[in-house]
A and B are shown apart, each in its own frame.
Chain A
């Protein structure tokens, strides 16, 4: 059973560019959450998708957007990249009906903005 997978592993972009990160959830999971981990910080919640809709959103600007597909996979898009967007982006999946839904994390995508 494949766990949560993310692509790409690493990415280098320049300021002002746009980036798309991808996530495939663990088999049987229908909910995907995205987190940003900046250096020295714990992961910060960006947003969560369920049934192809944004269910909950953290304190991130509109430059951060996402999408969930019918197969439950998800994308995170960041427009007009800033230096401060350099971070590890983690995707987590869960089964929203499982109760106390433990979120299972992927290995992350390391984004560097130059």
Chain B
């Protein structure tokens, strides 16, 4: 059974703060790593999919890095805004395309104005 760990479990920051979260996963048979943002009462929204060791992706103020050899990914948010408040989930997939996503419990971010 794959074990995906996310830390911290929750985080509260002030508007304008920068923050980062960690996702740890088994590195064997790694295929891709997905990050999702899940706002309350909405559908989980895909942020990034990363596959190569050293990959870096950026979308606005949010960026992510990937280390497949040691099995971790970081998600960074620069200058947090209240609209960034959500639960951020990571999910690796293994072996090949089309396989199940194994989700961590997520990091819940709350940004105060």
Contacts and interface: CB of A to CB of B under 8 A. Distances in A.
Interface of A: 3-4, 31, 33, 35, 40-45, 48, 50, 55-56, 58-59, 90, 92, 94, 96, 99-108
Contact of A107 (B36, B42, B103): B42
**Prevailing SS type, chain B contact patch:** loop
Contacts, number: 64
B53 interface: no
Interface of B: 1, 4, 6, 31-32, 34, 36, 41-46, 49, 51, 89, 91, 97-106
A14 to B, nearest CB: 26
Contacts of A33: 100-101
B100 A48 contact: yes
B103 A42 contact: yes
**Prevailing SS type, chain A contact patch:** loop
B4 A42 contact: yes
A42 B103 CA distance: 5
Given A41-B105, A42-B89, A107-B43, A102 B98 contact: no
A100 B99 contact: no
A4 B104 CA distance: 22
Given A41-B105, A42-B104, A90 B97 contact: no
Given A42-B104, A45-B101, A58-B100, A102 B43 contact: no
